[in-house]
Structure formats: structure tokens, C-alpha cells
Amino acid sequence: MASAMTDRTSRAGNTYTYTSRPRALPCQRRRYRDSFLQAEEEPVHYGNIMYDRRVIRGNTYALQTGQLAGQPDPLELQRRQQAKRRALARKRAQEQLRPRTPEPVEGRKHVDVQTELYLEEIADRVIEVDMECQTDAFLDRPATPLFIPAKTGKDVNTQILEGELFDFDLEVKPMLEVLVGKTIEQSLLEVMEEEELANLQAMQHAYEEIRNIELAEVQRLEEQERRHREEKERRKHQQWEIVNKHNETSQKIAARAFAQRYLADLLPSVFSSLRDSGYFYDPIERDIEIGFLPWLMNEVEKTMEYCMVGRTVLDMLIREVVERRLNMYENKDKHQSLKPEDMYGGPGTMRDPTVGYDFQEQSLSHTQRPLLDRDDPQRMSYGDPSQERKYMDEGELLGQSEETAIRKSTGKDELQ
């Protein structure tokens, strides 16, 4: 069989081969209803080969082998032909059974007759009639008249009476409602917006008022603070000045008291020291001191010089005498002790060179003042040491030389 089949295929002419890699076959059974997804998008269901109808199960030697798809089965062919013949036969039989008009009697013929109300001529020939027409040679073709088709049909009229079509008031209501409603809605919106704006403005104004008030308050408080502070500063300043002045005054008073006390004995002491220093002087006294007394002193000096000279001379005389007497006595008596004249002679000897020199000086300076006679009583008068001292002082003041001072002191010694 298989070989017969293959022969048939090769006899058919076109060879058909089919190869494929082994693959699992998808199951054709659709599990779900027609889904909107494409078939490819669904997960491919692979069928179980054991349950596939195409796979032959069981033993194959006693199996009915069907024909291949393209090949008709000869048995099938035969059966089909038979069926056709039978159908034809049946049809012929039925034809015969159908009732027909009986055949015409002899000598007669069936004829078709029209039985309608109006007869119709049935002829092949068309009736022809020749007609001719001719337009007028000299006339223009008139305008085609307006084509008004003939009125056909039945005339019918109708009239719409009031209230038949629609009730205007009823119908217009929804439209009006919408119109008016929209308008009012729009206007309400606008009014609300304006109100909101007005509210905002009012709030702004209120805020500005409050802000102004607060600002004014702040400035007022600042101003107040400033005034108070300045006032405080001023008062503090005043107070400070008062305290300062107070301090100063007390200090001044204390200083004054102290100074007064200090100066209380300053004045007498000043005066006394000044007096002591000789700043207060009687001009006449001064004059006497400056003018008269130096001269006086000079004269006194001179006188004293003269005295000195006299004494020196006297001393010399005495010395001479004494020496002579000494010589005489020495020649006579050797235990003559010191005489008072020696004492005089001693210092006198020491004094001599100086006195002699000074005397010469004095005599040179005072040659013009012969005051020997006057000096003598004066010498007598100044026996007391205090007067001496005074003259000494004045002599110092007059700036006499040291030699005269020594002389004076030695003179004083002598007088003592």
C-alpha cells in the first residue's frame, strides 16, 4: 500500500518533500473564547502527544487506512456515482408524475387566449407610420415655454393652528432658564470676584491703618524715650555739676582753711625773715648804713689804725725799752719772768709785719682824714662788745677784706 501510494505520488509528477526539526507541536484547541489578544500573544499551549488525534495509537496491523487527503477513495467514488444516478432517476420519475394539461382532442388544437379585460395585440411587427415636419423658414425658433409640469397628484392642504405644534411658553422655559441662569451665574461670579477684591482692598486698608497707627505709636514711644533720656541726661548732668561744685567748694574751703592756717604764721615769719634779711629798711637808716656808716667805719678803721700804729710804735718803744731794760736787767738780774709787756710784745711781734704793712696802707688811704683826735674818744666809747659786734656786722656787710676782719678780731682780742 505504501509503495502503491508512493507510486501514485511519483506518477502525479510534483514531488513534495517536507522536513522539519523535531519540535513540540502546539495544541490547536483553543482554551478561551475569542480574546482580543492576538494568537501569538497567548502562551503557546503544547499538546500532549499521547492525546493527539493525529497520532495513531495501538497496533497498526489491523487499522483502517484512510486515503490521503487529495486522493479520492475509489469506493467513495463509486458510491457517489451511484448516488448521482439514483438522484437523476428520482427526478425523472417525479417529472412524469406531474399533472399536465391533457392532450388536445383529435382535430383540435390548443390555442392561447387572452382572458383579461382589455385585449392586447401580440404581434411581432411594429406599426410604422411616416410623418414629417418642417419648421417655418423665416421664423426664429421661439423661446421654449417655461416648463410647468402638469399638476399631478392630489391637492391636499393643512393648517397649523395655535397650540398644535408646540406650546411656546412651555418650550421656551428651559431655554430661558439656561440663558438666564448662565447670565446670572456669570454675573454672580463677577460680583463675587468684585466682592473678593473689595474685601481684599478693605483688608489692605485696615492693615494700612493698623500699620500707620503702629508706626505712629512706635515713633511716639521713641520720641518719648528720647525725651525722657535727654531729660535724665540733663538732670544727671545737673546733679553731677552740683556735686562737682559741692566738692570743689568744700575743697576750696578746706584748702582755704588749711592755707589760712598755714599762712597764719607765714606772714609773721615772712615778715620776720624779711626783716631779718634786711628787706625792710628805713631809707634814712639805709642811707645812714650805706653812706654814713662805711665812711664812719673807715674813719674808725683809720683811727684804729692810728691807734694800732700808735700802739705798735708804743710797743716798739716799749720793746726797745724793755729790751734795753732786759739787757740791763739781764746784765743785772737774770730771773726776770715774763712781763705783761712781753705778752703784748709777743702778739705784737707776730702782728708786726702785717700791721706794719696795713698801717702803711691805711696811712696811704687815710692821709686825707686826720681823725686821730676824734678816734680816741670814740675808741673809749665803744668799749662794749655788742657795739663791736654791730660794727663788725656792718663791716661785713660793707664787704671789707679778710685782712681787716682778722685785724678787727685781733683788735677785739687786744681790747679784751
Partner 1 sequence: MAEARISMYLPPDINPTKAAIAYGCRALPKLNEELQSEVLTTRQKALMALCDLMHDPEYVYQAIDIGCLDSLKALLKDINDLVRIKATEVLCIMATHNVGRDGFLEHGIIPALSYLLDDANSICRENLHKAYKHLAQLPSGAQGIVSSGLIPSLVWKLQKEQGAVQELILDTLAYCLQEDATEALGSRVVPFLKQLLLSASDTIRAKAACTLMAVSIPLQGKNQVWEYGVIPILVHLLKDDMDEVQANAAGALTYAAVTTEGKYAALEAEAIDPLLDLLCSPVNKVRLNATKALTMLAEAPEGRRDLQSQVHIFRTLQEETTEVSTRRAAQIAIKVIEWKP
Residue 379 CB-density burial (10 A; 0-12 exposed, 13-18 middle, 19+ buried): middle
Q: For residues 166-195, which are near partner 1 according to CB under 8 A? A: 174-175, 178-179, 182
Binding mask 258-277 for partner 1 (x = CB under 8 A): --------------------
Say how many residues touch partner 1, by CB under 8 A. 18
Least separation in angstroms between residue 160's CB and partner 1 is 15
Least separation in angstroms between residue 259's CB and partner 1 is 45
| Residue 343 touches partner 1, criterion: CB under 8 A | no
Distance of CA 257 to the CA centre of its chain: 65
Please state, in angstroms and rounded to a whole number, the distance separating the CA atoms of residues 373 and 377.
Answer: 7
- How far the first Cα of the chain sits from its last, in Å, is 210
Cell of 348: 705784737
Cell of 338: 715774763
Reported as type and span, the H/E element at residue 136 is: none
Binding mask 133-172 for partner 1 (x = CB under 8 A): ----------------------------------------
Of 220, 246, 286, 389, the one binding partner 1 (CB under 8 A) is: 220
Of 167, 217, 225, 323, the one binding partner 1 (CB under 8 A) is: 217
Of 114, 219, 387, 409, the one binding partner 1 (CB under 8 A) is: 219
| Residue 246 touches partner 1, criterion: CB under 8 A | no
Q: Do 61 and 80 form a contact (C-beta atoms < 8 A)? A: no
State which residue, 210 or 321, has the beta carbon closest to partner 1.
210
Please state, in angstroms and rounded to a whole number, the distance separating the CA atoms of residues 355 and 407.
Answer: 8
Cross-strand pairs, 10:
none
Please state, in angstroms and rounded to a whole number, the distance separating the CA atoms of residues 144 and 190.
Answer: 68
User: Residue for cell digits 507541536?
Assistant: 25
Least separation in angstroms between residue 165's CB and partner 1 is 12
| Residue 216 touches partner 1, criterion: CB under 8 A | yes
Q: Do 395 and 405 form a contact (C-beta atoms < 8 A)? A: yes
Of 57, 86, 90, 227, the one binding partner 1 (CB under 8 A) is: 227
Binding site for partner 1 (CB under 8 A): 174-175, 178-179, 182, 205, 209-210, 212-213, 215-217, 219-220, 223-224, 227
